[in-house]
Amino acid sequence: MKVEIFSDVVCPWCYIGHTRFARAAERYREQGGEVEVELRPFQLAPDAESLGEPLTAWMERKFGGPEQTRQMTGRVTGAAAESGLELHMDRAVQANSFDAHRLILAATRQGRGEEMARRLFRAYFTDGLNIGDRETLAGLAGEVGVQASLDGEDGAEETRAQIDRARELGISGVPLFLFEGKYAVSGAQPEDTLLAALAEVASLTGQATPPGQGDACPV
């Protein structure tokens, strides 16, 4: 079964959703199922600069102030902890994720796309690294064993085309899981829900199940 995961590495719900889906997919495989994951880029803030500004400062401007930001970060940090993830939103810095998506594309071609995505999520939300900085990205690529050059335009055209496709599909929030090109589940759904979706899609004969709605990062 082919599952496309549309996500942005600067979206905390995507980090949670990736983690939950990976566990659900592993359980599905243990039951004899087959899952082919394809990572698709999405940019929540395509005009963002990578100047090292604290993410919380940017969120305060976007979402209406420090109290709203505290509520949002507290909620997502708690949800992440329930999935065994450690988020330090106070360390995260605002970054443009385009080059990070190019790096995931390069890693995918080398069979390490999911591993690269996990490292980028952790770098951003746990380590407080600027994943819009190409030198930082080169170091992370080396950790994962990925060969990539970001100084030129390698992978840029394909990354832009994939981002455009997400918009054409009407995707406005991530994560979104697209099963077999037509059955969608949106948001960081619970692991059991994602496992059930895998099983249901596998048994469908032509009628899609209405997509679930979980927590997502809006544009």
Percent of the chain with pLDDT over 70: 93
**Residue pLDDT, tens place only, 87-100:** 999 999 999 999 99
Of 216 and 62, more confident: 62
According to DSSP, residue 210 is labeled: P
The domain of 14 spans 2-218
The strand pair at 176-179 and 2-7 is best described as antiparallel
pLDDT level of residue 218 (50, 70, 90 thresholds): low
Which tokens in the block code for residue 111? 């069979």
Determine the average pLDDT of the residues in 119-144. Answer: 98
CATH number at residue 57: 3.40.30.10
Give the span between the Cα atoms of 104 and 68, in whole angstroms. Answer: 32
Give the span between the Cα atoms of 188 and 214, in whole angstroms. Answer: 5
User: pTM to 2 decimals?
Assistant: 0.91
Q: How many domains does the chain have?
A: 1
State residue 214's pLDDT score.
57
